[in-house]
Amino acid sequence: MRPIEIPTFQPRMKVLNREQALAIHTAALEILEKTGIKMEHPTVLEALAGEGCRVSGRDWVKIPAYLAEEALHSAPRQIALYDQQGNKSMPLTHENPFYGTGSDATFTFDMETGERRRSVLSDVANYARLVDGLENIAFCMSMANPVDVPVIEDIYLQVFAEMVKNTNKPIVFIADSGKDIARIYEIACLVAGGEELLQQKPFLLNYSEAISPLRFPQNVMERLIFCAEKKLPICLPSGSNAGGGSPVTLAGAMALGIAENLAGLVIHQLFGKGSPFLFGPNVSVLDMKSTVVSYGCPEWSLTQAALADMRDELYGLPIWAFAGASDAKVMDAQAGAESMFSIITAMLSRCNLIHDVGFLEYGSTSSLEMVTMANELVAMSRFFVGGIPVNDNTLALDAIERVASGEPGSIFLMDDHTFEHFMEAQFLPTLLDRSRYDSWEQSGALDMYGRCNKEAKKILATHQVNAKSDVVLEEIDRLLRR
């Protein structure tokens, strides 16, 4: 009889028990029922009233709990994002973490001069191509809020086109209103080969935000309705940052953010039952000295891990998260520490779509080197989360026997078992440097920043992005000129 295989435990983090999860959920429902939300879109307000919500004043509306529970049931439990060539590359089910960049950084570090300067459109292209060439960075966001777009109202359309031209990975995009999102959608249809194909194999997800506390502006609702109707995946995290948009205590901040998300979900499902909605607020903290919203704090990692627990206990919907960012002003030791902290914890708690990789200075500045470093940190984390497979082969009693009883000089390094398994048995870093001092010195004595800078340059110089067809490219340019 063959021995029973021992399943491998994959390290997993939990931060809430069921009682805590339920209590936060109940609080969120109470916020919707008793406090209500400010709805600034008249059609949505009417629709909510029609569903049994209580409207008071001009735009205040209270949402009964059962509507939230219903919406949670009708929203799909898995969202699959495809790459732009139609391959399923991001199945967002509950065990799968995917990392990607962030959106509108005002500044960037120039790869050549090392100088912090205002972002331009060609930066969007560089980030997209870098992401395309990095194995562990699954999706692309703009990473820039470029100064040099010809028409500022079209900024999100422009950066979207730039991303499409420079990567085939899935794209998470920003839009301003119902107008530019419709044009972005046109480009997406071109890339996918038509509306139907796009709906079947969506390669994009819209990142919109409600305004904490409890405010739902007109233009945000236009985007939400657009996505619901077109079955375009969307997330609607509000900025319920502890002490800023929400209470300073994390439980209250989560309850408020979740209430806002549930309200968004209710509306979304009203306008497109069964359309995909990625769940989750952004719950970081407002730093009480600098008054910045932190992108490197343990609190944000903690609240999203808690949300992952709530997903497992209650919601079942894939979640939105952040990692790989920092409040450091340059890519220094702080940047390394903070980005690794959020990367590993996001993976240990199985967050799903994890954005903001590569941000410095609390989201103001982007860094190609940070993204490149994160690629390796994600690999390192993956290795860790893979756990320790225990079986005859990995216990390697035969190898031990051979070496122990072998001739003098027989060593593990020489044994076939080592040759056959070292690749998967060990994590083999490429940027994290383990070389001996002398060879490190001989190869230029570069620190982590220097090595990442070199690697990013190399990828940008050599990586080939599968180009879109000329027809598609021409159509996109025509659309941009319109």
- The footprint of another protein (CB under 8 A) covers 104, 106, 145, 147, 152-153, 155, 176, 211, 215, 217, 243-245, 248, 286, 288-291, 364
Question: Three-state SS string across 105-142, please?
Answer: CCEEECCCCCCEEECCHHHHHHHHHHHHHCCCCCEECC
Q: Which CB, 137 or 396, lies closer to ligand B12? A: 137
Cβ of residue 244: shortest distance to ligand B12, in angstroms?
Answer: 5
Our CA dihedral for 411, 412, 413, 419, rounded to 10 degrees, sits at 140
For another protein, the closer of residues 105 and 472 by Cβ is: 105
Q: How far is the CB of 197 from ligand B12 (least distance, A)?
A: 26
- Min dist CB 179 to another protein, Å, is 13
Within a 10 A sphere around the Cβ of 197, how many other Cβ atoms?
14
Give 4 or 152: the residue with its C-beta nearer to another protein. 152
CB of 246 to another protein, least distance (A): 10
Minimum Å gap between C-beta 275 and another protein is 25
Q: Are 244 and 281 in contact (CB under 8 A)?
A: no
User: Which of the listed partners (another protein, ligand B12, none) does 318 bind, with a CB threshold of 5 to 8 Å by partner kind?
Assistant: none
- Choose between 103 and 342: whose C-beta lies nearer to another protein: 103
The interface partner of residue 313, options being another protein, ligand B12, none and the CB cut-off 5 to 8 Å by kind, is none
Residue with smaller CB distance to another protein, 179 or 454: 179
174's contact among ligand B12, another protein, none, with CB below 5 to 8 A by partner kind, is ligand B12
What is the DSSP track for 447-460?
Answer: -HHHHHHHHHHHHH
289 binds, among ligand B12, another protein, none (CB under 5 to 8 A by kind): another protein
* Cα separation, 131 vs 377, whole angstroms: 15
The item of another protein, ligand B12, none sharing an interface with residue 434, based on CB under 5 to 8 Å by kind, is none
Q: Report the C-alpha gap between 277 and 224 in whole angstroms.
A: 10
Select 4 or 288, whichever has its Cβ closest to another protein.
288
Q: Which of another protein, ligand B12, none does residue 248 bind to, with CB < 5 to 8 Å depending on kind?
A: another protein
- Residue closest to 354 by CA, chosen among 334, 330, 378: 378
Q: Could you tell me the smallest distance in angstroms from the CB atom of residue 254 to another protein? A: 18
Work out what residue 36 binds among another protein, ligand B12, none; the CB cut-off runs from 5 to 8 Å by kind.
Answer: none
Q: Give the nearest distance from C-beta 103 to another protein in angstroms.
A: 11
Q: Given phi > 0 = left and psi -120 to 50 = alpha, else beta, which region is 361?
A: left
Alpha carbon 70 to its chain's center: 26
From the list ligand B12, another protein, none, partner contacted by residue 147 (C-beta under 5 to 8 A by kind)? another protein
- CA separation, residue 36 to residues 31, 75, 212 (Å): 6, 22, 12
- Cα 136 to Cα 101, 133, 143, 215, 374, distances in angstroms: 11, 9, 17, 36, 8
| Nearest residue (CB) to ligand B12, 202 versus 237 | 237
Q: Which CB, 104 or 455, lies closer to another protein?
A: 104
Measured distance CA(116)–CA(133) in Å, rounded: 24
Sort 199 into a burial class: Cβ within 10 Å, 0-12 / 13-18 / 19+.
middle
Which residues fall within 8 angstroms of residue 357, CB to CB, at 6 or more apart?
99, 100, 101, 102, 137, 323, 324, 325, 339, 343, 370, 371, 374
Residue 363 CB, nearest distance to another protein (Å)?
9
Query: Least CB distance from residue 265 to another protein, whole Å?
Result: 21
Report the C-alpha gap between 351 and 466 in whole angstroms.
29
Nearer to ligand B12, 143 or 190 (CB): 143
| Residue ranges that bind ligand B12, judged by CB under 6 A | 103-106, 145, 174, 207-209, 211-212, 238-239, 241, 244-245, 286, 291-293, 362-364
Interatomic CA distance for residues 237 and 279, integer angstroms: 8
Task: Pick what 382 binds: ligand B12, another protein, none; C-beta below 5 to 8 Å, kind-dependent.
Answer: none
